[in-house]
Amino acid sequence: MGTKQRIGIVICDRYRSCSGGKCLRALREREGAFAAYKDAEVELAGYTSCGGCPGGNIEYAGEEMVKNGVSVIHLATGFLVGYPPCPHIDHFVRFMEERYKVQVVVGTHPIPEKYHAIHGKLGTWNAPEWKERLRSSLSDEETRKRYD
C-alpha cells in the first residue's frame, strides 16, 4: 500500500442517528468515493454531522478534523440523495477548502439504486452542476443495488 490518508466524514444532520454502515463498508471495500484510496492506507479520524441547516457545525468540524491530521474531508452521500439534496453543498466545499486548506470530496458510499431511480424520475440531478457533484459516488447499477 502507498501513503496513509487520514480522512473525516461529515454527514447531513437529517441522518444524525446514522451508524455509518454504508460509509464504513464503502471505505473498507474502496467503493464509491473511497475508490480513490485503492492503493492507500486510510484512517478515519473524524465523523460528525453538519449540525443542521445551514451547516452550523461545518466551521467547528472542519477545524477539529484538520487539527487531528485529516487531509481529506468527505461530505457523505446523504447530502446528495436526501430529498431535497442539500442546497449548501457547494458552500461547504468552498468554505472548508479555503479556510482549512483541506481537500473536500462530495460523496462517500455509492449512491443506492433506489435513490438513483427516484432522483432520475424527478429530474433532481438534471442541472449541469450535478454531474461533478455526483461523479465520485455514481457507480454501476450492480454496485448501486448492493447499497439499497
Please list, in sequence order, all residues whose beta carbon lies within 8 angstroms of the beta carbon of residue 103, skipping any fewer than 6 positions away: 71, 72, 73, 97
Provide the pLDDT confidence category of residue 2 given band limits of 50, 70 and 90.
low
Looking at the domain that runs over 4-146, which CATH code has it been given? Answer: 3.40.50
pLDDT in tens, 48-89: 999 999 999 999 999 999 999 999 999 999 999 999 999 999
Q: What is the mean pLDDT of the chain?
A: 95
Cα angle 120, 126, 130; round to 5: 105
Rounded Cα–Cα distance for residues 29 and 45 (Å): 18
Rg, C-alpha atoms of the chain:
14
What does the pLDDT average to over 114-119?
96
Rounded Cα–Cα distance for residues 24 and 60 (Å): 23
Domain segments of the chain as ranges: 4-146
pLDDT in tens, 81-93: 999 999 999 999 9
Rounded Cα–Cα distance for residues 111 and 123 (Å): 16
What does the pLDDT average to over 124-146?
95
pTM exceeds 0.85, yes or no: yes
